[in-house]
Amino acid sequence: MSAKFEGDRPKSLLKLGTATLIGASAAVLISGPALAEVDPEVAYIFNTLLFLIGGFLVMLMAAGFAMLEAGLVRTKHTAAICLKNIGLYSIAGVMYYVIGYQLMYNLTDTGLTSDYFGVPGLWAGSEAAGGEGVNLEDGYASSSDWFFQMVFVATAASIVSGAIAERVKLISFFIFVAVLTAFIYPIGGAWQWGEGWLYQMGFSDFAGSTIVHSVGGWAALAGCLLVGPRMGRYVDGRAVDLPGSSLPLATLGTFLLWFGWFGFNGASQLAMGSAADASDIARIFANTNMAAAGGVVTTIILTKIWARKVNLGLALNGALAGLVAITAEPLQPAIWQAILIGGVGAVIATGGLFLLVRLGIDDVVGAIPVHLFAGIFGTMIVPWTNSETSYLVQAIGVASFGGFAFVSSFIVWLALRNSIGIRMSREDEEVGGDLTELGHEAYPEFVPGNGRALA
Amino acid sequence: MSAKFEGDRPKSLLKLGTATLIGASAAVLISGPALAEVDPEVAYIFNTLLFLIGGFLVMLMAAGFAMLEAGLVRTKHTAAICLKNIGLYSIAGVMYYVIGYQLMYNLTDTGLTSDYFGVPGLWAGSEAAGGEGVNLEDGYASSSDWFFQMVFVATAASIVSGAIAERVKLISFFIFVAVLTAFIYPIGGAWQWGEGWLYQMGFSDFAGSTIVHSVGGWAALAGCLLVGPRMGRYVDGRAVDLPGSSLPLATLGTFLLWFGWFGFNGASQLAMGSAADASDIARIFANTNMAAAGGVVTTIILTKIWARKVNLGLALNGALAGLVAITAEPLQPAIWQAILIGGVGAVIATGGLFLLVRLGIDDVVGAIPVHLFAGIFGTMIVPWTNSETSYLVQAIGVASFGGFAFVSSFIVWLALRNSIGIRMSREDEEVGGDLTELGHEAYPEFVPGNGRALA
Amino acid sequence: MSAKFEGDRPKSLLKLGTATLIGASAAVLISGPALAEVDPEVAYIFNTLLFLIGGFLVMLMAAGFAMLEAGLVRTKHTAAICLKNIGLYSIAGVMYYVIGYQLMYNLTDTGLTSDYFGVPGLWAGSEAAGGEGVNLEDGYASSSDWFFQMVFVATAASIVSGAIAERVKLISFFIFVAVLTAFIYPIGGAWQWGEGWLYQMGFSDFAGSTIVHSVGGWAALAGCLLVGPRMGRYVDGRAVDLPGSSLPLATLGTFLLWFGWFGFNGASQLAMGSAADASDIARIFANTNMAAAGGVVTTIILTKIWARKVNLGLALNGALAGLVAITAEPLQPAIWQAILIGGVGAVIATGGLFLLVRLGIDDVVGAIPVHLFAGIFGTMIVPWTNSETSYLVQAIGVASFGGFAFVSSFIVWLALRNSIGIRMSREDEEVGGDLTELGHEAYPEFVPGNGRALA
């Protein structure tokens, strides 16, 4: 409502007409030729296009997560993790359509006004085909916004699959994803992006370090605690390395995530219908890239000094931690600040990996350090570069999302454990999820002994 | 000519100036600020940009097909299928430039006016460099349209390579691709997108469930019938599973296809120079995604109930079948209808796989069920959501394309079989196409026994 | 400053306001409705958007190089090459920010005016967040331009990693990358894109066949000469084939590079704020694609006739050589000329591979033939299609860049060799860079004997 929240994504601001609003506020600031405000229809097209480009970029992050996780699990669980990834992306879309979107954004459109969640229900906001429903005052096509929001919820779900890979039951995982994307993520989202209580308090999380990444991380942590570590991961109190099967695929996945992140952060500007918005998006692209670069360079230097060897997996996670860390505020930092934020995010994620091992938690791909720890850091560092935010409010937001996401996820995992179970049998885990849950192998010709246990 | 065909891609409509036309018709419908029609030059840029973005997205589908097929063939044929994919994409572009494009679209520009095919020849429509040839009345840059059309013809060719993998001779395959992309696809395309007889009759196939996907599927079917099943695929009347070598690559391929499909369907709107068009594209994006999601979710539920296990390959094909099914009409359905169309498409493709096995046809990647069967379904279901189309005309279109594509493909395959041959020798097939046709292996270090037969 | 250099990327032209300038010059040429020049703010958004789309496409080329190289090295060096690729992309961005960008473009903004290099220093050109720094006369957001320039420097560095893979020391490679991206590439870039002496002379290199690709190629050649061939590559004067480990990954990498090249060449138009620019970009897309296609088709025909077998690796390099060759002038050629340029580029690259073997140089992925030889050809052939350029000036440019890039790279490699060393120990090379430099394998389950040497 005040300029304070510019860059955040309250829905009503947009409904007031982004182009008009931002065009007006920018008019004072933009120098050069006399400013004729961008034609509302042209702004509408630009805004819609931003959501569509951002949406397809974020969609490809589903492929990024799939490849990252396929590369970091062992061969006998690889097909299963691929299925989980394409399955979760699909389930997330359906559940968000059926329930989640309205729960997240429909806070004020009914009599049941709430600051905590909207009225759940089928998303019905699509303008009619053929242009009958086009209202230029909306500022963008409702379907484009929905599409963009939908790919975000899938991201949150993707974070969970990697952490609890190699031992969670397929069907239980999918049920958890359905609950996460229908209820947990949307309710949290309502607090901020739905203009709920945290938004009103002044919490700031530009593209979702907390709302998306740490929520996914908390859900993953709850899952890890209840499903327990993989067989053979901790033997006599010592951690045993169970190396991932294909680091090139993990590298590909990381690059695809980095690529998609330009959409994730850039299109979270939510408008491209003015020169000011376009400039902001450009800043966001540069900062997003440099935070990731900072994460990689920091990890390489750190591990070279510390361990004499440079671990590829840590470098990949360093890139991702840098990306997560900058996500809460990719607009305000100068480039050097973005590099620094990314670098510190990577240090935190790297340290977090060792902390988890200490605690006996088994996170197969390092999703919790990357998405939860770096996400918390990114959210807490916002006031360093954005003077209109407060450390206290950021902390309240981080804690509120953490408490809600962790407790609700824990309850769902617990309910699943006490009903259909969440853990594969010891025999199935030994043989691998591919043969036991899917009935086929990921690489039938490559690892001859893989199917042995069944023979 | 009438509003009936809006959303389809008749060339003359565009030549009349898409922006003007649609802007005008939309003027009545659009609410909000007084509508000043979008400046023709701005609309020209938007329209051109749509083709370019759509084009590069569809181009990446070539990588998607390559990875899908590389993951679903056996290691001894993997390099060969990679070569076929990059080769077919290249040949398709060249042949479409040399002959195909004019055959498809040059129906009315000469004295030899026809409703069945254009005058073949070198595409010469590119505006001059430096802007000398720019005509705002065209509504878009001719090169951008050509680029977008060109990547479509490659898609049709990609469908064939997977079905007849592991036994077709490389050189014969490439010759078939040249004929398909120079003649078969363009002639079919002329009937509808070139404003030929089917277009005039009212056939509707938005982005090509029939024109692209089922044409590719019919060509693949003709190839499968004449080239015969792989050695060892059917033994004593029973089908033997010959599992694909790398399911992560197949998963990656599916995600890349899904990603590219936003361009395939979205840019088939052919214009982005008005708010109405932008809104339609946004609807198309949402529906395209949800049809694929519907396909995946349906397949997972179906196979879990039916077989107790969830086959990853079937889930991937479910996504693709959902995408093919929605392609004929991605604009009109509501989201729930898109999910349903995708789901039914997936059921048909899954059932179709088993039907092919019954019939003793060997389609290595399931291209025929996905692209042909789901493509027919998608085309036939158009009238459910688009009241201006007719089931009868849709059936005529499906049958006409089917008859023409199947018969002409069959003749070409037959001619190749009776001349240079289309089938590798038994020895070569046993050893694998990689060593015999390319002279090297795809994974020389991974599968030690692979080169055995040559030793 | 004259129309002669249109299509090149002098910075001052843009600072004069691309939209205005090009709009004005195009006004005479464009037919159709009365031309109202595109609103400067709309042009600003389009120009910025072009840089952002081009930038994210080129960014994905980093993934393309990573996959290409991961597929073409042996398994025991695969994780190391992945690390090098993500590391070099990150280092390139940081060094370009810290020193390179100003060195390349800051030639005239200070008292130290020079035609040879700018004043090095931290890039400080980003407009302030929130639009305070937006100046419509710039024509585009400075961050978008910086982002686009930054991904280019990473491309130059990517070329080096593949050529000298499997034996260069990790740390020395990273130091070389830092020098290349901070100094060598930017100084060369200043000569042309910074409007230095070659630009003033009339040299033409649209998107960087010479400035990017051959500079990377010269740096790679210097590295190859000083680091020497891999152990076992040349035995008793005969070349021993050391086949790459995963051709599907190499194929994927090639497709990703092809995909990214649309941004590389297309966005080098530097403006999309007029119909003339949009049309030029469309031409560039079409030509870029068809040069690559020409490269593939030519290689397939050539190798089929010559060797009876069609080598996949050669076909992939044919695509890349076609892309490199068209990069110096992707706008002026007609399609048939683009196909021809790509085809000849591919022949040169294929021949160049054999030349290198003759000379006893070991270029693991064929980067020198593809990026250096085809890059020289592409630059020298510009006057064939662009009558405003001269063969003599092109030759001067090629030679100047060659001399500078080769000599300076040679000195850096030499200094590294004589200090910390650039070559892995024989034992480390035998075991592989993965275990010795990273401490883990790329495919721990796949190649059982891989870790043998350590056991």
Confidence of residue B295 (pLDDT cuts 50, 70, 90): very high
Asked whether the whole model's pTM tops 0.80, one would answer yes
pLDDT recorded at residue A421: 98
Confidence of residue C264 (pLDDT cuts 50, 70, 90): very high
Contact check, Cβ <8 Å, C247/B442: yes
Q: Looking at the partner chain, which of C136, C147, C442 has a beta carbon nearest the beta carbon of A248?
A: C442
- Contact residues on chain C for B42, CB-CB shorter than 8 A: 38-39, 42
Contact check, Cβ <8 Å, C94/A312: no
pLDDT recorded at residue C125: 82
Above pLDDT 70, what percent of chain C? Answer: 89
Q: Average pLDDT, stretch C109-115?
A: 65
- Decide: residue C197, CB within 10 A, 0-12 exposed, 13-18 middle, 19+ buried: middle
Say if residues B152 and B58 touch (Cβ distance below 8 Å): yes
Q: Is the pLDDT of residue A22 over 80?
A: no
Phi, psi of A135 (to 5 degrees): -125, 110
What is d(CA A405, CA A122) in angstroms, rounded to the nearest whole number? 23
Q: Per mean pLDDT, which range of A247-251, B5-9, C89-93 is the poorest?
A: B5-9
pLDDT recorded at residue C18: 36
Instruction: Tell me the per-residue pLDDT of A417-430, one tens digit each, with 9 for 90 and over.
Output: 999 999 999 999 99
pLDDT recorded at residue A125: 82
pLDDT recorded at residue C12: 43
Instruction: Tell me the per-residue pLDDT of C246-258, one tens digit each, with 9 for 90 and over.
Output: 999 999 999 999 9
Contact check, Cβ <8 Å, B66/C245: no
Q: Per mean pLDDT, which range of A56-60, A447-451, B230-234, C403-407 is the poorest?
A: A447-451
Q: Average pLDDT, stretch A75-90?
A: 98
Say if residues C222 and C406 touch (Cβ distance below 8 Å): yes
Instruction: Tell me the per-residue pLDDT of B121-159, one tens digit each, with 9 for 90 and over.
Output: 899 888 888 877 899 999 999 999 999 999 999 999 999
Which residues, in sequence order, are bridge partners of residue A239? A234
Segment holding A48, helix H or strand E: helix A40-72
Q: Is the pLDDT of residue C195 over 80?
A: yes
Q: Is the pLDDT of residue C156 over 80?
A: yes
Q: Average pLDDT, stretch A44-63?
A: 98
Contact check, Cβ <8 Å, A280/C49: no
pLDDT recorded at residue C446: 86
The secondary structure of residue A423, as a DSSP letter, is B
Q: Average pLDDT, stretch C328-349?
A: 98
Q: Average pLDDT, stretch B68-78?
A: 97
Confidence of residue B170 (pLDDT cuts 50, 70, 90): very high
- Contact residues on chain B for C295, CB-CB shorter than 8 A: 90
pLDDT recorded at residue A130: 80
Q: In this structure, how many other beta carbons lie within 10 angstroms of the beta carbon of residue A399?
A: 12
More confident residue, B108 or A403: A403
Contact check, Cβ <8 Å, A440/B243: yes
Q: Is the pLDDT of residue A144 over 50?
A: yes
Say if residues A180 and A417 touch (Cβ distance below 8 Å): no
Q: Average pLDDT, stretch C67-80?
A: 98
Contact check, Cβ <8 Å, A310/C249: no
Confidence of residue B9 (pLDDT cuts 50, 70, 90): low
What is d(CA C425, CA A167) in angstroms, rounded to the nearest whole number? 41
Candidates C241, C265, C335: best to mutate against B (most CBs of B within 10 A) is C335
pLDDT recorded at residue C424: 97
pLDDT recorded at residue B259: 98
Confidence of residue B3 (pLDDT cuts 50, 70, 90): very low
Q: Average pLDDT, stretch C24-52?
A: 73
pLDDT recorded at residue C227: 98
Q: SS3 sequence, chain C?
A: CCHHHECECCHHHHHCCHHHHHHHHHHCCCECCCCCCCCHHHHHHHHHHHHHHHHHHHHHHHHHHHHHHHHHCCHHHHHHHHHHHHHHHHHHHHHHHHHHHHHHHCCCCCCCCCCCCCCCCCCCCCCCHHHCCCEHHHCCCHHHHHHHHHHHHHHHHHHHHHHCCCCECHHHHHHHHHHHHHHHHHHHHHHHCCCCHHHHHCCCCCCCHHHHHHHHHHHHHHHHHHHCCCCCCEECCEECCCCCCCHHHHHHHHHHHHHHHHHHHHHHHCCCCCHHHHHHHHHHHHHHHHHHHHHHHHHHHHHHHHHCCCCHHHHHHHHHHHHHHHHCCCCCCCHHHHHHHHHHHHHHHHHHHHHHHHCCCCCCCCHHHHHHHHHHHHHHCHHHHCCCCCHHHHHHHHHHHHHHHHHHHHHHHHHHHCCCCCECCHHHHHHCHHHHHHCCCCCCCCCHHHHHHHC
Q: Is the pLDDT of residue C4 over 50?
A: no
More confident residue, C118 or B21: C118
Q: Report helix, strand or coil for A234.
A: strand
Confidence of residue A9 (pLDDT cuts 50, 70, 90): low
Q: Per mean pLDDT, which range of A82-86, A125-129, A235-239, C230-234 is the poorest?
A: A125-129
pLDDT recorded at residue A113: 64
Q: Is the pLDDT of residue A319 over 70?
A: yes
Confidence of residue C50 (pLDDT cuts 50, 70, 90): very high
Q: Is the pLDDT of residue C108 over 50?
A: yes
Say if residues C438 and C79 touch (Cβ distance below 8 Å): yes
> ipTM value of the model?
0.93
Phi-psi region of C195 (alpha: psi -120 to 50; beta: other; left: phi over 0): left
Please report, as a single letter, which amino acid is at residue C261: W
Q: Is the pLDDT of residue C362 over 60?
A: yes
Cα distance between the two ends of chain A: 66
CATH of span A54-105+145-239+247-431:
1.10.3430.10
Q: Is the pLDDT of residue A7 over 60?
A: no
Q: Is the pLDDT of residue A350 over 50?
A: yes
pLDDT recorded at residue C131: 76
Q: Average pLDDT, stretch B313-340?
A: 98
Instruction: Tell me the per-residue pLDDT of B357-400, one tens digit each, with 9 for 90 and over.
Output: 999 999 999 999 999 999 999 999 999 999 999 999 999 999 99
Q: Per mean pLDDT, which range of A86-95, A355-364, B130-139, C234-243 is the poorest?
A: B130-139
Q: Average pLDDT, stretch C334-352?
A: 98
Q: Looking at the partner chain, which of C66, C130, C135 has a beta carbon nearest the beta carbon of A32?
A: C135
The DSSP string of A308-357 is SS--HHHHHHHHHHHHHHHHT-SSSS-HHHHHHHHHHHHHHHHHHHHHHH
pLDDT recorded at residue A43: 97
- Contact residues on chain B for A444, CB-CB shorter than 8 A: 243-245
Q: Looking at the partner chain, which of A53, A82, A147 has a beta carbon nearest the beta carbon of B248?
A: A82
Which residues, in sequence order, are bridge partners of residue C8? C6
Say if residues A296 and C151 touch (Cβ distance below 8 Å): no
Q: What is the CA radius of gyration of chain B?
A: 22
Instruction: Tell me the per-residue pLDDT of C269-314, one tens digit each, with 9 for 90 and over.
Output: 999 999 999 999 999 999 999 999 999 999 999 999 999 999 999 9
What is d(CA C311, CA C126) in angstroms, rounded to the nearest whole number? 47
- Contact residues on chain C for B94, CB-CB shorter than 8 A: 290, 293-294, 297, 339
Q: Report helix, strand or coil for A31.
A: strand
Instruction: Tell me the per-residue pLDDT of B103-114, one tens digit each, with 9 for 90 and over.
Output: 999 887 555 568
pLDDT recorded at residue B449: 52
What is d(CA C374, CA A223) in angstroms, rounded to the nearest whole number? 53
Confidence of residue A107 (pLDDT cuts 50, 70, 90): confident
pLDDT recorded at residue A36: 58
- Contact residues on chain B for C334, CB-CB shorter than 8 A: 126
Nearest chain C Cα distance for residue A339, angstroms: 8
Q: Is the pLDDT of residue C141 over 80?
A: yes
